[in-house]
């Protein structure tokens, strides 16, 4: 019997096509270990073609969905890692905390399909940026083009689509000092390991936040309140206006104002979620049309009734602590439908299933500090999806 099993194993190992089909069905973490079985396996799993096929298979079987969320509280009093880890899948029990970097002051700037764009600050307040794959513990320091005296790096964004290419681009936005408020875009390509400088010059509206970009379908999107926002078509290097829903559009009956807006992406769809006063537990989830013509209302979500099952969460804002909805993330398990919304409210991460209306507490978060006796405003909170991936940096 043992000789038969051995012969079968040898037959599989010697058939690269069959071996590839088997390995493509495995998650990223085991594959990273299997690379060291042999030189042949290392070469196969490390190849660009294998990484591309693996990402596409993960998409097809819906496993390319966030494994965890990284919740960042943007203050100087955060935990040493600077973020909380919120598990969404049982198999993702261990998540790297960047302890291998030897630098506790690390901030995640953007999560993009398994790669993280991060920023660190040393004791001399010198800022540096790097690309990181937490699954492989690999990083690449970003070396910007030679700085000019008339500008400085204002914002940095990451563009990476593993379904199309194993390569990524870094978008550096430089503010021109003497020509305010003019900005310049430089682009780094990991394929050529080089920068294209002065690709584009533009003027930014005052309320557009360039350091909070969301990558979706080949473009970086920057929110701009209730006026026109901007998005950058990375492939064609052109900047376009993006409409935003008017304030109180399709607002629930009885609400008198918006509380927060949360821009995000999941499986190729751009979402904007708005919650409303007075209770802050009623949400509208808008989705951007494929032609960028407008937003349409995708879902209404009311957690007022469901949240009563959590007596530790005050229902009314005038109660102790109020309803501090600090962040929100929309997650699609399938390309054509939203399945889960994760809400961060009053120090708790809560998952809401849109199909059956159930609410599940994922974990408790360490409270973010109050500033001058008041809770920090919602702009200080950020949520980043994290995927296990084979992608190289």
Kindly report the three-state secondary structure assignment for every residue of 281-306.
CEEEEEEECCCCCCEEEEEEEECCCH
* Cβ contacts of 145 within 8 Å, gap of 6 or more: 172, 186, 195, 197
Asked whether 393 and 77 are in contact (CB, 8 A), the reply is no
Give the pLDDT score at 77: 39
User: How far is it between the farthest Cα atoms of the chain?
Assistant: 79
* Per-residue pLDDT tens over the stretch 243-292: 888 877 777 777 777 878 889 998 889 999 888 877 678 888 999 999 99
Measured torsion, CA atoms of residues 288, 292, 294, 298, in degrees rounded to the nearest 10: -20
Which domains, from first to last, does the chain contain? Answer: 7-46 (no CATH), 55-387 (2.120.10)
* Per-residue pLDDT tens over the stretch 112-145: 998 999 888 766 567 889 998 888 888 899 998 8
Give the pLDDT score at 64: 60
Buried/exposed 71-100: b ≥16 CB within 10 Å, e otherwise: bbbeeeebeebbbbbbbbeeebeebbbbee
As a whole number of angstroms, the distance between CA 183 and CA 202 comes to 5
Measured torsion, CA atoms of residues 361, 367, 371, 372, in degrees rounded to the nearest 10: 110
pTM of the full predicted structure?
0.86
Asked whether 168 and 115 are in contact (CB, 8 A), the reply is yes
* Per-residue pLDDT tens over the stretch 309-365: 677 666 555 444 455 677 788 888 765 676 788 888 777 788 888 888 888 888 877
CA geometry: angle 217, 218, 220, nearest 5 deg: 100
Q: CA nearest 47: which of 31, 58, 27?
A: 31
Q: Which residue has the tokens 């509380």?
A: 259
By CB atoms closer than 10 A (0-12, 13-18, 19+), residue 288 is buried
Residue 377 pLDDT grade (very low, low, confident, very high; cuts 50, 70, 90):
very low
| N- to C-terminal Cα separation, the chain | 44
As a whole number of angstroms, the distance between CA 212 and CA 5 comes to 54
């Amino acid at each position: 019997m043992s000789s038969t099993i051995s012969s079968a194993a040898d037959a599989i190992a010697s058939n690269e096509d069959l071996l590839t089909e088997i390995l493509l069905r495995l998650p990223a973490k085991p594959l990273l270990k299997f690379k060291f079985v042999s030189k042949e396996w290392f070469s196969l799993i490390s190849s660009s073609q294998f990484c591309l096929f693996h990402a596409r298979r993960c998409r097809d079987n819906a496993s390319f969905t966030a494994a965890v969320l990284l919740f960042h509280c943007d203050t100087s009093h955060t935990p040493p890692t600077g973020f909380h880890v919120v598990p969404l899948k049982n198999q993702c029990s261990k998540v790297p905390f960047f302890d291998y970097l030897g630098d506790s002051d690390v901030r995640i700037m953007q999560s993009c399909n398994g790669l993280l764009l991060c920023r660190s600050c040393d004791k001399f307040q010198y800022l540096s940026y790097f690309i990181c794959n937490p699954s492989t513990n690999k990083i690449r320091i970003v070396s910007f083009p030679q700085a000019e005296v008339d500008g400085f790096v204002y914002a940095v964004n990451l563009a990476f689509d593993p379904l199309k290419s194993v390569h990524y681009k870094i978008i550096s936005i430089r503010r021109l000092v003497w020509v305010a408020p003019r900005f310049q875009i430089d682009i780094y390509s990991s394929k050529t390991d080089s920068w294209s400088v002065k690709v584009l010059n533009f003027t930014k509206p005052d309320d557009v936040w360039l350091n909070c970009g969301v990558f979706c379908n080949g473009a970086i999107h920057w929110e701009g309140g209730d006026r026109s926002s901007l998005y950058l078509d990375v492939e064609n290097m052109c900047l376009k206006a993006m409409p935003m829903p008017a304030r109180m559009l399709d607002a629930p009956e009885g609400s008198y104002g918006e509380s927060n807006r949360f821009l995000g992406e999941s499986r190729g769809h751009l979402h904007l979620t708005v919650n409303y006063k007075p209770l802050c537990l009623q949400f509208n989830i808008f989705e951007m049309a494929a032609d960028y013509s407008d937003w349409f209302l995708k879902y209404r979500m009311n957690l007022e009734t469901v949240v009563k099952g959590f007596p530790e969460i005050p229902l009314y804002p005038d109660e102790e602590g109020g309803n501090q909805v600090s962040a929100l993330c929309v997650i699609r398990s399938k390309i054509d439908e939203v399945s889960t919304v994760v809400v961060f409210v009053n120090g708790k991460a809560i998952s809401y299933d849109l199909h059956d209306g159930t609410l599940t507490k994922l974990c408790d978060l360490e409270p973010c500090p109050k500033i001058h006796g008041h809770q920090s405003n919602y702009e200080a909170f950020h949520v980043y999806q994290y995927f296990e991936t084979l992608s190289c940096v």
